[in-house]
Amino acid sequence: MSDAPSSFTVGDRLPDSRPRHLPASDISAYADASGDRNPIHLDASAARGVGLPGTIVHGMLVMGQFEATLRAWRPGLTLHTLQTRFLRPLPVGATIHVEGRIAKVLDARSAIVRLSVRDDEGHAICVGDATVSD
C-alpha cells in the first residue's frame, strides 16, 4: 500500500451531470443494439398488459449511465465492480439525473463511489456502488 495521499476524499461529490432525456427513439436503438426487444420497452399496450403504466426504459440502459458519469468525471478511471439495485421502473420519455459521491476510500488510488439515477421528480430509480481506481 502506498503512502501517497489519496486522490479521493470521503463525501466529495461528482460534478453534476447534465440531465439526459430518454426518448422512445433511444430506447428503440438500444433494443436493436442489445437484442433486448422485450415488448414492455417498445409496446405501450404490452407494458400496460403486465401492469405498467406504459413502456419502460431497459434497466441496463439506466445502469449504463453510471459508467458514463464516472468516465466523464475521470476519463482514465478504472471501474472494477458495479453493484446496483433498481427501485422503480423508468418510463420511456423521462429525463434522468445521475449523482455520485465518494462513500469510502479504500487506499491511495481506489474508492467506492455511491451512485444514483433520479427522475425529474427526484425519485430514485436505481442506486449502486462502484469500486474505482485512478
DSSP assignment of the chain, as one string? ---SPPS--TTPBPPPPPPEE--HHHHHHHHHHH----HHHH-HHHHHHTT-SS-B--HHHHHHHHHHHHHHH-TT-EEEEEEEEE-S--BTT-EEEEEEEEEEEEETTEEEEEEEEEETT--EEEEEEEEEE-
pTM for the full predicted model: 0.88
Print pLDDT tens along the chain (134 aa): 445 667 899 999 999 889 999 999 999 999 999 999 999 999 999 999 999 999 999 999 999 999 999 999 999 999 999 999 999 999 999 999 999 999 999 999 999 999 999 999 999 999 999 999 99
- CATH (one of 3.40.50.10420, 3.40.50.300, 2.20.140.10, 3.10.129.10) for 20-133: 3.10.129.10
Domain residue spans in the chain? 20-133
